Structure 1
Amino acid sequence: MDGVITGGEAQNGTDWKVGVDIGGTFIDFCALEANSGRVASLKVLTTPEDPGAELMTGLTLLAEREGFDPTHMTRFVHGTTVGINTIIQRKGAPLA
């Protein structure tokens, strides 16, 4: 899903913020260009035996598609559904 979020303070240049969630099946990417409000997303299949291995591949694909240099991101955050599910499972709660 791609779109635009309006609002925010305009600045010179681009201001890319990228969030990533590493899951068991996909790594989900969401990127916001804060100056324009442009939002882009991408899903990349994971390798279950090596979660996170596809992070750089997906980031490169997203950057190429959206035309930004990932070395100039102003913010990068990630979460991991795999990690949270492991904690929940170890606490004794069954996974849905």
Structure 2
Amino acid sequence: MRHLKAGRLAADIGGTFTDVALECGPRRVTAKVLTTPSEPEKGVIHGILEVLKNAGLSPADVEVFVHGTTLATNALIERKGATTALVT
């Protein structure tokens, strides 16, 4: 059976969880994994591998990847990290 290419793969890194969603035609596969604040990429990679496995796809089948995060916003609100100014 020939697999369709995935239309969209998205990851959203939050302070506690990283959500990953894969849309392939009419099918959606999702994963929610723990975020490692010191290494947020670990949650993204873990979630991506999980949804690709569950969909029977490989990374080469992904056409579009979208990424979002609240980590920078949380750092500003919680006053963590480097001294930063938000200029609008």
Q: Shorter-chain-normalised TM-score: which range?
A: 0.7 to 0.9
Paired residues of 1:25 and 1:46 also in contact (CA < 8 A)? yes
* Separation in structure 2 between the aligned mates of residue 91 and residue 85 of structure 1, nearest angstrom: 14
Q: Hey, what does 1:15 align to over in structure 2?
A: 5
* Separation in structure 2 between the aligned mates of residue 52 and residue 70 of structure 1, nearest angstrom: 16
Q: Hey, what does 2:81 align to over in structure 1?
A: none
* Post-superposition offset of 1:82: 1.2
Specify the SS of the correspondent of 2:74. helix
Q: Which runs of 5+ in 1 are unaligned?
A: 1-11
Q: Which amino acid aligns with 2:21?
A: C
CA offset digits 1:10-56 (Å, max 9, x no partner): xx95131101101111110111013xx11111101111222222221
Q: Which amino acid aligns with 1:73?
A: V
Q: Which runs of 5+ in 2 are unaligned?
A: 78-83
Q: TM-score, normalised by structure 1?
A: 0.68
Q: Hey, what does 1:63 align to over in structure 2?
A: 52
Runs of 4+ with deviation above 6 angstroms: none
Specify the SS of the correspondent of 2:53. helix
Matched, 1:79 2:68: yes
* Post-superposition offset of 1:69: 1.1
Query: RMSD of the TM alignment (CA)?
Result: 2.2
* Count of residues in correspondence between the two structures: 78
* Separation in structure 2 between the aligned mates of residue 26 and residue 64 of structure 1, nearest angstrom: 20
Specify the SS of the correspondent of 2:57. coil
Q: Tell me the percent identity.
A: 32
Q: Hey, what does 1:44 align to over in structure 2?
A: 33
